[in-house]
Amino acid sequence: MNGKYSPSIRLDEPVPNPVMQANDLTVVEERIPHHSVIASKVEPETIRYDPIAIAEYFRHRPLEVFGRILKVLFPIISFAFGLWWDKQRSRAVKNERRRAIQLRELLTRLGPAYIKIGQALSTRPDLVPPLYLEELTQLQDQLPPFPNEIAYQFIEEELGDRPENIYAELSPQPLAAASLGQVYKGKLKTGETVAVKVQRPDLRECITVDLYILRRIATWANNNIKRVRSDLVAILDEFGYRIFEEMDYIHEGENAERFAQLYGHIKDIYVPKIYWQYTQRRVLTMEWIVGTKLTQAEAIRAQGIDARYLVEVGVQCSLRQLLEHGFFHADPHPGNLLATPDGKLAYLDFGMMSEIKPQQRYGLIEAIVHMVNRDFEGLAHDYVKLDFLTPDTDLTPIIPALARVFNNALGASVAELNIKNITDELSALMYEYPFRVPAYYALIIRSLVTLEGIAINIDANFKVLSAAYPYVAKRLLTDPAPELRASLRDLLFRDGSFRWNRLENLLRNASSSQEYDFNQVLDQTIEFLSSERGAFIRNNLVDEIVKGIDALGQNTLHNVTSNLRDRILKAPLANRLAWAIEETPNASVEQEQTLEHIKRVWNILQDTQGFDASKIAPQIPQLLLKPELQRMGQQVASRLAQRAIARLIREVLVSPEPAYTNGQVKPRPALVPIPAKAKV
């Protein structure tokens, strides 16, 4: 075993709680039975963020709070002054490297809460200059480590034995050090190579006082700044709950296993195994992953791996997290996303996770559909459903504002969408109108913006929302949820007219999704059309089917009569016989367009993976037995018959009739109606 314990640390004495002493806990528990000052002991070794108890604790320690404020404020003001002074002396470019190092060191000294801000900025090459980006990247896993002696002591306290008796090998120094802990490479006595993560000392004390100060500032801002309509306190509390969960490695292990169960089956996604026998609240032992950071594109390419493909894999996995199951990785910075040598994307660090409720997930999908479809009235109602606007908000002025803002962000197509443009435009809109930011949305945006930052680092032209739309299209076509069925109807129909171009776009995008199953789409389409909820679409589809069949019939008849006339005209006495066969007119422009759309849709279906026309034929007899589809067929036949009769009457009774003049065929005058009193 490499490394020795410091003789100054007695292993038979537990390390005192860095935030409170035992008498503090006893006193507070008398007032708040189920909560400690900082973290409530829900069950042994489980901690929970409690903002009320935190406020109670620090209310009696103003000097400690004031000291922390000064410790944070002075370095920030000093750094800002340095930037200003460089600008005044025209030395900003010359000193940029030095200032970037100062910023990294400043955030490191200020502690975990500020380190996480730096980690978020380290993924935004579109916002942060390259030299700053390079330095901030070190905050992901290259922070100064704490002494081995303390780490070994925590291992012994948590796992009940000295490290050398637990692990066959343990690296002499940590291989990575992040905001909340540091990681050693080890080997179990059973031979498995593992990562051993040990929590930093004094962690809760530092994080808690920062959360308390920031919460007080948020409360003041909510009460005194009218322009602030979002609940900043709720947003900060959401962050507090997640970061306290992140400090409990048992909770992180449970998150990892749940993540593996939900998303581990996705192609080229890998989730490491947790070794529970060697895991407790401050020590986590998990499978060691060999890999390269996703932002190191050149190193990934050198291994023959397509970095852009792995970004797309990450986008697809994130979509399932946010829109399918709702359990998502809220901290996907590059240190937590590795490209493995066999070309898979490995997720690490499951401490900060969050959840989205089903209604919020459906609301997000509906919002994407309405945004892409430029249905800004629907989008305004989506914001009400998603808690951005209160139900009593007057949407009349907001709808045109959304149209003005998003038309700028959307550009000409889905391919031009990017999260930064949309969030920037939306931020301006929220400032002007009574929007508020729900607490759950802050972590979603943090996750998506971080992911887009990684993508931009690999490919400056990568558009996360463009890559996401095939999944959204697939969900619209395959998800039986009533909310999404309504979104599909709104997408395909407008003012009673079927929009074929939308269907083509939807099918084309959905077919490029990895998990798109044509047979599933067919089965669910039939099921939906047969249901009561599908009545609206059935009625509209009858019109489109009639148009298509009628157009096909007219074009066929036109071709037959045209060819027949051409042959007769070449024969003797052609002029005398040609009048007997009139050339039927082509289908109308509208009918031709419908027919062309149907052909393109059929071509898209034929190119779709899993399409097999031979599998469709056996389903036809089953379809004919469904009462709703039988009525649909009867309506189609009835309307086709009505059109045929109307056309026959028009051709026979109204159309001009050919006649002979000097052996030449000429039109006959139209029949004149006979007055009612006239005698025949």
Residues contacting residue 98 through CB under 8 Å, at least 6 positions apart: none
Q: Tell me how crowded residue 600 is: count the other CB atoms within 10 A of its CB.
A: 16
Structure tokens at 201: 């000392």
CA pseudo-torsion sign 241, 419, 114, 313: positive
- CA-based radius of gyration for the chain: 34
Cross-strand pairs, 654: none
CB 459 within 8 Å of CB 311? yes
Residue type, 93: V
CA pseudo-torsion sign 583, 589, 595, 596: positive
Main-chain phi, psi angles of 521, to 5 degrees: -60, -45
Structure tokens at 434: 């009574």
What is the rounded CA–CA span in Å between residue 366 and residue 363? 5
Read out DSSP for 58-125? HHT-HHHHHHHHHHHHHHHHHHHHHHHHHHHTT-TTTTHHHHHHHHHHHHHHH-HHHHHHHHHHTT-T
Place of tokens 């990247």: 137
Q: Distance of CA 412 to CAs 409, 415, 470, 507, 576, Å?
A: 9, 8, 18, 19, 58
Place of tokens 């109204």: 654
Q: Which of 141, 210, 331, 349 is catalytic?
A: 331
Structure tokens at 524: 């669910």
What is the rounded CA–CA span in Å between residue 462 and residue 503? 25
Residues contacting residue 112 through CB under 8 Å, at least 6 positions apart: 179, 180, 200, 203, 206, 207, 243
In 449-519, where do the E strands start and end? 493-494, 497-498
CA pseudo-torsion sign 124, 128, 133, 138: negative
Closest by alpha carbon to 433, among 469, 473, 393?
393
CB 136 within 8 Å of CB 122? yes
What is the rounded CA–CA span in Å between residue 360 and residue 300? 36
Alpha carbon 425 to chain centroid distance?
18
Active site residue 331: yes
Task: Report the SS3 class of residue 182.
Answer: strand
β-pairing, 181-188 vs 327-329, is unpaired
DSSP state of 608: S
Alpha carbon 250 to chain centroid distance?
27
Alpha helices by DSSP H, listed for 320-413, are: 358-372, 376-385, 398-410
CB 159 within 8 Å of CB 278? yes
β-pairing, 269-270 vs 657-661, is unpaired
Structure tokens at 16: 């005192």
CB 448 within 8 Å of CB 464? yes
Catalytic (active-site) positions = 331
